[in-house]
Structure 1
Amino acid sequence: MEPISAPLHDDMVGVPQGGQAYWLQTSDGVRIRVGVWHPQGTARGTVLMLPGRTEYIEKYGETAGELARRGFATLVIDWRGQGLADRLLDDKRLGHVNLFTDYQLDLAAAMKLARQIELPTPFHLIGHSMGGGIGLRAVMEGLPVQSCAFTGPMWGIYMSPMVKPFGWALSHVAPMVGMGTRLPPSTRHEGYVTAHPFDGNALTTEPSMYRMMQEQIAAHPELGIGGPTLVWLRESLMECRALAHRPSPDVPCVTFLGSGEQIIDCDDVRQRMDRWPGGRLEIVQGARHEVLMETPEIRADIFDQLETLFTSPQGGKEDSAVSA
């Protein structure tokens, strides 16, 4: 059966022409969307781009374009509950998942498509934020990638020491009393880039990239979501705890962490990379959470390192020392 075409908004700022999107059905009956871009000429492989919470395929158009210029195809996923994938609640503004491991069903459907349309091998992975948590479990469980990279990975969610016990308690108790689809305190129904101006934002220091995010959502507000539900928070905290007890996979890995990171727990990232055989942690000076959407200088350096990782049998380990 031929894959079914889906909309791809390549009229938006930052989205290159020439991509293709597909509707997929997961094994539990959820419809998700996957986008694919190919390079010109012979491809050097395919990068599986796993976005973070609230994100959508088109946001990674710039990333796909840069990878294409370096010879790689890119596959990007709209996770269940966001982008144009099926929303799981009547209030489509809420970010929600029933079980965190349900995201693995989305990735499995995307991998089935990758084989069906014969995307070029080898496969590599970039997992950003929530996608870093999803990607870590997938690589641990045998996802067939030659190497993996993570940017601001959600291997822990930052909460102050005073707030953390309250966050754990609230996210576990609220679903028991029928309040699991409520927003956690301090979160909003509006998406982050809609609700926050550039000044003081936690995502990027680059005004043009933040403006791109704002313009994309303004052009297609149906792509955006707001805060997570308390069930999502519960599931994410439990997944981070579960993964923390498992050994790191023996797959070449580089993780990029902005020196101005405020969203995920940096200590959890350091602890993971300290016990990743041959893994490398890069602290990106001056960057915030979204290092792939930072200044041109930062992006160029990161893509150079990604290209080395994706083309070296050793994942570039022999070329760089650990920086942390």
Structure 2
Amino acid sequence: MHAQKIHMDRRAIPSDATESLWTAEDGWSIRRIDWAGGHEPRGSMLFLPGRGDHYEKYLETLAYYAARGWRVTSVDWRGQGASGRLLADPEVGHIDDFSTWIADLRYFWTRWKAETPGPHVVLAHSMGGQLAMRALVEKAIDPDAVAMSAPMLGIQTAGLPLWLNHTFAKMMCSIGRDELPAWKVSEKPLSPMHDRGKILTGDKDRYEDELAWWALRPEVKLGPPSWHWIERAIDSIRLLDRPAMLEKVQTPILLLATTADQLVSTPRIIKDSKRLPHAETLIFGKEAAHELLREVDAVRDQCLSRIDAFLDMHAPVK
């Protein structure tokens, strides 16, 4: 299966995209990017990026869906990208609680949905998938369909029980390390920066797009998360593990994952897919790393084609 090729400069904002700011309910300024979708849009798509991400990383995928007729929007989460920072150290990823992001999403969704043509769908990656799933459970959003790339429904724990990792994170917060980075560099503990690319994607050029954007727009770069972020992330993951949480979600969901993921737990994704009433999966192996939508063409094309077929089935043109 091969997706339609989009020829573009991945290191420049496309001329048909518009960058702007919107204001959250509490007055926080949050960055967004939009494609209009043409005179008769296929529908509207909201892309939710992962931890530490900024929408520039996904311009190629966003442009792909805009070219297919979708009215595409993406936002930088509060405290990430160019949506400000929450700590004095701008390199540390932080949030008071994941419910803050859910509140931002609820507020944005209500207004975005009212202003855009249906059907309305969500495409989410990693932490964006965790937040999208919680938003579905909490009825903060009501999309026609959702596709998730390597959703953070669980995290890699080096073989230790999740509750033990949670206990350790709570202890680190209790001794005053809550706003300090949980590790020094890269995307996981004990991982040197020169290994970061391999953890994220097998496509060297696409990985270097992110580094290029860091040079072009230094304000979007974010380093490791704080211990408080770790503790709140595990709490959010454990919340979704409670009985009757995922089982009540009626939205069609496509879960894309890889067994070679070094950041999120693919066994947890597979387990949760069986709890969801209307879930489909596409699972890769060693040929794919965490950032499936930024992988080599052989993987990325399969993801895009499967998402296209899924949306055609569950979010047809109205």
Q: TM-score, normalised by structure 2?
A: 0.87
Partners of 2:146 and 2:196 lie apart in 1 by: 32
For residue 266 of structure 2, what is the amino acid of its counterpart?
C
* Kept in 2: contact 1:204–1:287 (CA 8 A): yes
The worse-fitting range, judged by mean Cα deviation, of 27-36 and 145-154 is 27-36
Residue of structure 2 equivalent to 1:275: 275
Query: Cα distance 1:171–1:144, how it changes in 2: closer, same or farther (>3 A)?
Result: same
Tell me, yes or no, if structure 1 residue 304 matches structure 2 residue 305: yes
Partners of 2:59 and 2:88 lie apart in 1 by: 29
Partners of 1:74 and 1:216 lie apart in 2 by: 21
- Contiguous gaps of at least 5 residues in structure 1: 1-9, 316-324
Partners of 1:115 and 1:47 lie apart in 2 by: 10
For residue 18 of structure 1, what is the amino acid of its counterpart?
D
| Percent of matched pairs sharing the same residue | 26
Tell me, yes or no, if structure 1 residue 289 matches structure 2 residue 290: yes
Residue of structure 2 equivalent to 1:20: 18
After TM superposition, list the pairs within 5 Å mapping 1:1-324 onto structure 2.
Answer: 13=11, 15-115=13-113, 118-142=115-139, 143-162=141-160, 167-184=165-182, 186-188=183-185, 196-197=193-194, 201-245=198-242, 246-248=245-247, 249-285=249-285, 286-313=287-314
Compare the two structures and name the one with the higher helix fraction: 2
* Kept in 2: contact 1:191–1:224 (CA 8 A): no
Query: Cα distance 1:15–1:302, how it changes in 2: closer, same or farther (>3 A)?
Result: farther
Partners of 2:130 and 2:150 lie apart in 1 by: 10
Partners of 1:38 and 1:258 lie apart in 2 by: 32
Residue of structure 2 equivalent to 1:4: none
* Kept in 1: contact 2:46–2:73 (CA 8 A): yes
**Alignment deviations for residues 244-266 of structure 1 (CA, whole Å, 9 cap, x no partner):** 21134111111000232110011
The worse-fitting range, judged by mean Cα deviation, of 38-47 and 11-20 is 11-20
Bigger RCO (CA 8 Å, 6+ sep): 2
Query: Cα distance 1:216–1:268, how it changes in 2: closer, same or farther (>3 A)?
Result: same
Q: TM-score, normalised by structure 1?
A: 0.86
- Deviation of 1:36 after TM superposition, in Å, equals 1.1
Query: Cα distance 1:313–1:149, how it changes in 2: closer, same or farther (>3 A)?
Result: closer
Residue of structure 2 equivalent to 1:6: none
Partners of 1:241 and 1:53 lie apart in 2 by: 18
Aligned residues: 301
Partners of 1:253 and 1:165 lie apart in 2 by: 27
Q: CA RMSD in A?
A: 2.3
- Deviation of 1:314 after TM superposition, in Å, equals 7.7
**Alignment deviations for residues 298-317 of structure 1 (CA, whole Å, 9 cap, x no partner):** 222211111122221488xx
- Contiguous gaps of at least 5 residues in structure 2: 1-7
